[in-house]
Structure 1
């Protein structure tokens, strides 16, 4: 006999979760009245009436000596003085059935920490029932075919290896296979997790072609079958419970869960994986399979895997762990969905940025990049190691650049010591535009705070003025504009190149180019004077920042020819900053005229 405890809201279909499956009310009624199992309502007590099952008051009533402790007196409004908490209700129920074969609670709240109870969300419970995981005799269990096989979607009776190879190529995503073959004169049928033509038999002309098979059952070894012994090979979708049904050890269960996660990660119960990882004994093979299963699940269900973070953290601290890259990849998948969830692990992650194992270093870098995106403060300590990855041109370079760029959004001073490294990235044509964009953006934020730091690379950055990618070009001119805040003498030699960018189609490039030249105009008006007609045209630009920059430049140039256009801006421009700057420019021109007189 099993004991079931059901919540109501977001669990039973009388008030289902808006995005998940719910338990049919008829199932609850059937379990309570048509089976020997015990069924209780532990949440919203309306379910007790709807399903005609015992509720909390009934549960406490079966502990008459404890009535006052749990309920107390009934109040005028029909309520009791107190009510046991959800976990206390489960304890009271378990006390009523000490010899039950199992205890199952179905609730949208996570009650997996309650000793002795197996917790399911409704959307986990329904498929578990249908798979036969809860009890094989329940009427909703999916039936296997009477011949011992499963429903098939495709099949072949191969005449030769070539025909079989074509069939396998057409079904590379098959969740499983059912193989019928002749072995010692007897026909056998085997469910397989995976099958493939045995490479050795294909490469050796003297060897008969054979099919290499990985059984679905985790307690079975791989085997090969000669192609000419195959009677039928069919594509099937095995029920998830079959992947672990024959497992006799935790290691075999881990193997089964890994195989299930390969083909159907939605069907894997994360609590089963965590139970295999959170054990006192060390079994590297079991842990490797369990972590690999978790990694595959995290790709499609990252939010569901957040309870695994403490266990993954403890694994990272171990000296011996064969699946370290898988642990990091799992954390990365969780972090991609919720960076804050893995941010507290930065101290554990940073050492792996220096790993000699390529996959480990790459996944650690991706974790830090995810953290830096949302919590740059937590990634600051990783800056030196991230810079080393870039300098070594290591796998994961693009994520290291991205992480540094994100950190500069709030902490440019922390990335300042490695600014030269970002500068080198901006000039590497072999890198993708996205990587170079992140590098120029990050470098630009540093230069915005510390203009002098880019003085030595202005010549190199200026080569990007004619970049095909407008964003890369814009970042370059923006960086040069920041340098011009303090060092117009370094930027002045590039007046002509910047002038060519004043009229490009990209708005941000026009903003940055006009800003840079307006600063040069202040200190070197003679170098910019010939650009006056263009600045007058920019007074009519659709972007107010461009118009404002044009006013700055014309004011510094004391451009008398712009007086009429500036008066129009000062009087009629729809942007207050432009009107203010146009008035300032007119005053500058007027003052210049007075000095000339």
Structure 2
């Protein structure tokens, strides 16, 4: 029976509505989400009936996104992201509108747009490629963890289709890895895909991979070893400092880590042998 302000208890914070699950109400408790403008979102707002996935419904949502703001706009973005998760092809027409939100909107709206774009990019990276430049603007350490993870996921998807479109992501991803990103695995996946076509672009950031190999656990080491192994085919000396660690990991219980360590050693061992012969 406390006054409303005193009866509220903060349970968690999230920048995107799509990441929130509201508990069902009980006899004595109810749950609500408030945004920074004081708009409230209840269970029906966030967990209503599944949206129809016909193009007309997508067009209606896009009209709302472009013509409104506040709660109405965010709910339209939430519903669009829900559709994109289950039927991304229906949302292809939404890509230009979502990209526009990355340029002009506040962080919470940008985050909702990135969530929808990430779902579309998973299945149709070629369609999201024109948005690459705007997605890259989000790849900075100060970006909230949720939109940052979605942006990295989009870059990784585009890199698998057209690595040329996301070459400029390399130094940004390197900075995120150095500062500690919440989406390390996806960031390394993106770098690995870019390195496959442009090893010269990724080679300068090998210190970040070396740090991961030295300080990470077995799971975290798998990706960096894969990237270094790929780079060492073009630049055999790039991974020389990791040779002792790679040799130790040939007996690793994680088979992927063992295989990647062996892959890195193949070209590196040849270089080391040549050096020894020359010295002798």
Aligned to 2:60: 272
Instruction: Point out 4+ residue stretches in structure 1 off by more than 3 angstroms.
Output: 426-429
Q: How has the CA–CA distance of structure 1 residues 431 and 316 changed in structure 2, closer, same or farther, with 3 Å as cutoff?
A: farther
Aligned to 2:137: 351
Q: What is the alpha-carbon root mean square deviation over aligned residues? A: 2.9
Aligned to 1:415: 202
Aligned to 2:98: 312
Task: Give the match's secondary structure for 1:352.
Answer: coil
For 1:382-417, what per-residue CA distance to the aligned partner results, in whole angstroms no more than 9, with x for missing partners? 001111121122211111011011111111111001
Aligned residues: 248
Q: Is the CA contact (8 Å cut-off) linking 1:419 and 1:446 kept in structure 2?
A: no
Q: Is the CA contact (8 Å cut-off) linking 2:218 and 2:257 kept in structure 1?
A: no
Whole-Å Cα distance in 2 between the matches of residues 420 and 429 of structure 1? 14
Q: How has the CA–CA distance of structure 1 residues 408 and 285 changed in structure 2, closer, same or farther, with 3 Å as cutoff?
A: same
Aligned to 1:443: 228
Task: Give the match's secondary structure for 1:484.
Answer: helix
Higher relative contact order (CA 8 A, sep 6+): 2
Displacement of 1:428 in angstroms is 4.2
Displacement of 1:319 in angstroms is 4.6
- Structure with the higher fraction of residues in helix conformation: 2
Provide structure 2 residue ranges, at least 5 long, that are not aligned to the other structure. 1-21, 33-39
Displacement of 1:262 in angstroms is 4.3
> TM-score, normalising length from structure 1?
0.38
Whole-Å Cα distance in 2 between the matches of residues 422 and 267 of structure 1? 42
Whole-Å Cα distance in 1 between the matches of residues 116 and 49 of structure 2? 17
Provide structure 1 residue ranges, at least 5 long, that are not aligned to the other structure. 1-192, 203-210, 214-220, 224-254, 493-522, 525-597
Q: Is the CA contact (8 Å cut-off) linking 2:53 and 2:90 kept in structure 1?
A: no
Displacement of 1:360 in angstroms is 1.6
Q: Is the CA contact (8 Å cut-off) linking 1:266 and 1:301 kept in structure 2?
A: no
Task: Give the match's secondary structure for 1:263.
Answer: coil
Q: Is the CA contact (8 Å cut-off) linking 2:228 and 2:238 kept in structure 1?
A: no
Displacement of 1:312 in angstroms is 0.6
For 1:177-230, what per-residue CA distance to the aligned partner results, in whole angstroms no more than 9, with x for missing partners? xxxxxxxxxxxxxxxx995115xx36xxxxxxxx779xxxxxxx999xxxxxxx
Whole-Å Cα distance in 1 between the matches of residues 149 and 81 of structure 2? 15
Whole-Å Cα distance in 2 between the matches of residues 413 and 212 of structure 1? 52
Aligned to 2:271: 486
Whole-Å Cα distance in 2 between the matches of residues 275 and 301 of structure 1? 19
Larger Cα Rg: Structure 1 or Structure 2?
1
Q: How has the CA–CA distance of structure 1 residues 412 and 275 changed in structure 2, closer, same or farther, with 3 Å as cutoff?
A: same
Q: How has the CA–CA distance of structure 1 residues 222 and 336 changed in structure 2, closer, same or farther, with 3 Å as cutoff?
A: closer
Q: How has the CA–CA distance of structure 1 residues 376 and 267 changed in structure 2, closer, same or farther, with 3 Å as cutoff?
A: closer
